[in-house]
Amino acid sequence: MLIGGALTGCRERALTNFQASFLNQSTEDPLRGRTYQKLLLATLLILLSIANVACGGKLEGTYSNVAGNVMLELRSGGKAALTLNGESQNCGWKSDSKKVTVTCGGDSMDFGIHDDGSLTGPTMVGVMRKSKS
């Protein structure tokens, strides 16, 4: 009898502890402590991402290499002009976060995008810097 009574008391205390912890969780203010910090951080990151897309990282403009024999003009709408040794071609372009792909007459060329805004093309082209927007 003593053993059964002890088990019953133990079960009641466990149930009471469970109920108390459940009630504390369900009535806890969600804008307190860690939850608030995570929400604030997520909001800040979203706003910075939107600002970066809206204000920075515009690739449109005219790029040329050091020798001056290659010029690439990236225009809005995915249009481009590539000039090699004085001969110009109308092309198209698209980009992702790491590269610009220029397509002229079915041939594609990839240009790596650097943090300083310069582009690196194939070996014959080398580094291209933006000369005007």
Which tens digits make up the pLDDT trace of 62-84? Answer: 999 988 899 999 999 999 999 98
How many structural domains comprise the chain?
2
Are 72 and 125 within one domain? yes
Are 15 and 68 within one domain? no
Helices (H), the chain: 2-26, 34-55
Are 68 and 127 within one domain? yes
User: Does the reported pTM lie above 0.85?
Assistant: no
Q: What is the DSSP string of 77-92?
A: GGEEEEEETTEEEEEE
Under 8 Å CB-to-CB from 69, ≥6 apart: which residues? 84, 85
Query: What are the structure tokens assigned to 50, written together?
Result: 């939107």
100-104 average pLDDT score: 94
Highest mean pLDDT: which range of 5-14, 39-48, 95-104: 95-104
Containing domain of residue 124, as a range? Answer: 61-132
